[in-house]
Structure 1
Amino acid sequence: MVELLLLVGVLVSVFVGYNIGGSTTGPAFGPAVGAGAVSKSTAAALMTTFFFVGAWTIGRRVVDTLGSDLVTSAGVFTLETSIGVLFFIGLALFVGNVFGVPASTSMTAVGAIAGLAVANGALDWEVMGGIVIWWVVAPVLGFWVSLIIGRYFYTRLDRLLAMDESDGTVFELDREGTIPTVSVHDDASSREAIGVVSVVLIGCLMAFSSGTSNIANAIAPLVGAGALEMNPAIAVGGLAVGIGSFTIARRTLETMGSDITDLPLTAAIVVASVSAALVVFLSFIGIPASFVVIATMSIVGLGWGRATRPISVSAAVRGETDETPPVSVHALAADGDGEPVPPIGEEDPADIPTPGELFDPATTARVVIMQNVVPLISTIGAYLTFRFAPFF
């Protein structure tokens, strides 16, 4: 009977890891994919690699503490309750992935564990309160920092980086020699190559950060219950995340990379930098980072800031007073013409996009709603099950 329960527990853990790969690959590499820096397959490979590195190095610490920090009694974790917690985590994440919305694995996992703890009267409310406060503050910080950058600094950053986007690939691989070599494509500039490398490296940093915190969401209950040893559990969880990254994550990559907003390279670097900085900070102070929400709000903030740049009366009368025709995001990203950057408020109205051209409000609303619904599913489901089910 114990062996059967253990097998069920491992399968549920794999299911959770699969959905973690699906929900976290989008926030980490969605900007890079949306900017055309890497393909979806390359993003999945990078996500799998750096997630595992983060899980194997720092992630084991989170596994050791997740089962004890939120609960006042470690005895609430048994093999049966661990399976129940993992089931609700996986189910909630699967709902988000089906809708193509990358839900927060940290919020979902903490919610399921909190539901178990409340049902048994063992939740540490002080620890839970501190986590929730940072979950509110961090996305707001990401939104406003990105909005300010988009509103006041984006144009100058874009000119400084001067990353014109070429139509083809940025790098080309030469396999003729004994050792394959990589070079910048003839149609791509060196600045564009630097930009591509930068946004991919930031994505790798986010994948590493995800591994340090999210591996615990897939295996901590089983490890805490003594059902699995640490190293085999990390290996199983990392493999499951990789499978999710190569399969179901394709939908969340589209949502984070193109459905919300069509990101040029400069915008992708801004979003990834702001999100990664906040995630690293939260990890440093021991808060399970909800970087899925931070990345989403950073994208929305940057798009909103770009769409609401101030226009002076003198700038308005220089151009058409009627409504200007739409301007594509990629056209706005192109520069390198040597023209000076106009002062803020002095741009031509035709050079400033509308909010709908930078991000899709309907998709944004769907993402925000689902990112709140998914953790509620795991929290309420776990509480009701562990509070009233007779077999727990």
Structure 2
Amino acid sequence: MISLLLVVGVLVAMFVAFNIGGSTTGPAFGPAVGAGAISKPVAAGLMGVFFFLGAWTLGRNVVTKLGSELVVDTGVFTLTTSITVLFFIGVALLVGNVFGVPASTSMTAVGAIAGLGLAGGVLDFAVMGEIVVWWVVSPIVGFWVSLIVGRYVYDRLDELVAMERSEGPLFTVDRSGSVPVPRVHRTTNRRELAGTATVVGIGCLMAFSSGTSNIANAVAPLVGSGNLAMNPAIALGGLAVTVGAFTIARRTLETMGSDITELPLTAAIVVAAVSSTLVVFLSALGIPASFVIIATMSVVGLGWGRATRRVPAPAVVTGDGESDDPLREGTDTDATEVPNPSALFDPLTTARIVLMQNVVPVVATVGAYLTFRYVPIFGF
């Protein structure tokens, strides 16, 4: 017979997954919806499908890491402690929403479990050290890759991605036969179709990467406790994420949900591609990655690269009215470092985001440790 406490634990886990679906659908498919490429229901459906694919394939690696490898004795994962850990994760999401900063759910989940492990004396410091090292390395990699793209490749990408919307919908449905068949609208050009496919494809990649990393944040404690098997846990978590995508994510899709999707379309694609690729790579290693921190540093790197890119020196007009621009004379000239103010990031906003994204996990770690160590019902 299923205990009432297990039902409560499953409901809390699904609530966390529900919030994950609501908070990640906007960043993933905001550019596609904002560009008119797909509708909100289609975005929600794609979010659910690709999140589940990511969770079912690579996501189980991260669930195993958090649920059984981060602590040397999984006996600390009772139903009561599992529900408490999920509570701290839910509070972190709430704090992030209150301050308008997307908190790192992965870092908070690791922090809460680490607090439990410390209180019980069962934390595996080697595994914790491996996770922390990747947390430091991955944003640095994201920063430098985005910086290089922003400095040397961005302008060409911008030309390729730029979409000039034609009149009418991108697709129409041919209902002349017995089975309706979607077809490309006759006014849609190839460039527009390619740009649309790129934007939607990047959104699917982001949804997949979210599944590989974030599913563990919702179900790892219950799986680690042995009260819920891996496959049912992933299925329930994926279902809750899909419900969140179809409901509370509609608002984030309208407002583009995060600073990433408020960037120009090309910049949003670069940041999403770099961040998602790193998250998928880390998930394959079983490392719970923080998409929001990697994406934040990617935004900074892209802005820095754009601000210091090499551009031709401006022409100088001589006294006789003739241009002294060597480029016009067909000769070579050294490029000059010219800052581009429009490409610069806001240092204060960036500092606030980075601070909050690190403070919230620390608070979760300390709060979990003090709770599990000194509240008598947990028995540590």
* TM interval, short-chain normalised: 0.7 to 0.9
- Write out per-residue CA displacement over residues 331-351 of structure 1, whole angstroms, 9 at most, x where no aligned residue: xxxxxxxxxxx999379x7xx
Question: Who is 1:345 aligned against?
Answer: 335
1:171 is displaced (CA, Å) by: 1.7
> Are residues 209 and 3 of structure 1, via their aligned partners in 2, closer, same or farther at CA, if it must alter by over 3 Å?
same
> Are residues 43 and 96 of structure 1, via their aligned partners in 2, closer, same or farther at CA, if it must alter by over 3 Å?
farther
Question: Who is 1:179 aligned against?
Answer: 180
Question: Who is 1:370 aligned against?
Answer: 356
> Are residues 167 and 257 of structure 1, via their aligned partners in 2, closer, same or farther at CA, if it must alter by over 3 Å?
farther
1:256 is displaced (CA, Å) by: 6.2
Contact 1:18–1:241 at 8 Å: present in 2 too? yes
1:294 is displaced (CA, Å) by: 1.4
1:17 is displaced (CA, Å) by: 0.8
Question: Who is 1:354 aligned against?
Answer: 341
> Are residues 10 and 260 of structure 1, via their aligned partners in 2, closer, same or farther at CA, if it must alter by over 3 Å?
closer
- Write out per-residue CA displacement over residues 335-390 of structure 1, whole angstroms, 9 at most, x where no aligned residue: xxxxxxx999379x7xx7424x6655554444323322332232222111101111
Asked if 1:220 corresponds to 2:220, the answer is yes
Length, aligned pairs only: 362
Counterparts of 1:66 and 1:54 in 2: how far apart (Å)?
17
Question: Who is 1:323 aligned against?
Answer: none
1:109 is displaced (CA, Å) by: 0.9
1:180 is displaced (CA, Å) by: 3.5
Counterparts of 2:36 and 2:133 in 1: how far apart (Å)?
35
> Are residues 111 and 310 of structure 1, via their aligned partners in 2, closer, same or farther at CA, if it must alter by over 3 Å?
same
- Write out per-residue CA displacement over residues 89-131 of structure 1, whole angstroms, 9 at most, x where no aligned residue: 1111232234443322211111111110011111111111111
- Write out per-residue CA displacement over residues 170-213 of structure 1, whole angstroms, 9 at most, x where no aligned residue: 72332534314141562x53123212212322321232232223
> Which residue identity is paired with 2:184?
S
Q: Report sequence identity in percent.
A: 68
Q: Pairwise CA RMSD of aligned residues?
A: 3.1
- SS of equivalent to 1:181: strand
Counterparts of 1:220 and 1:369 in 2: how far apart (Å)?
26
Asked if 1:379 corresponds to 2:369, the answer is no
Question: Who is 1:336 aligned against?
Answer: none
Counterparts of 1:202 and 1:315 in 2: how far apart (Å)?
37
The structure whose Rg is larger is 2
1:247 is displaced (CA, Å) by: 3.7
Counterparts of 1:359 and 1:30 in 2: how far apart (Å)?
20
Counterparts of 1:166 and 1:58 in 2: how far apart (Å)?
37
Asked if 1:44 corresponds to 2:34, the answer is no
Counterparts of 2:181 and 2:333 in 1: how far apart (Å)?
47
Is 231-240 or 56-65 further displaced after alignment?
A: 56-65
Counterparts of 1:384 and 1:35 in 2: how far apart (Å)?
47
> Are residues 271 and 344 of structure 1, via their aligned partners in 2, closer, same or farther at CA, if it must alter by over 3 Å?
farther
1:257 is displaced (CA, Å) by: 6.4
Contact 2:51–2:212 at 8 Å: present in 1 too? yes
Contact 1:50–1:207 at 8 Å: present in 2 too? yes
> Taking structure 2 as the reference length, what is the TM-score of the superposition?
0.83
> Which residue identity is paired with 1:391?
I
Listed as ranges, the gaps of 5+ residues in structure 1 are: 319-341
Contact 1:170–1:193 at 8 Å: present in 2 too? no
Listed as ranges, the gaps of 5+ residues in structure 2 are: 318-331
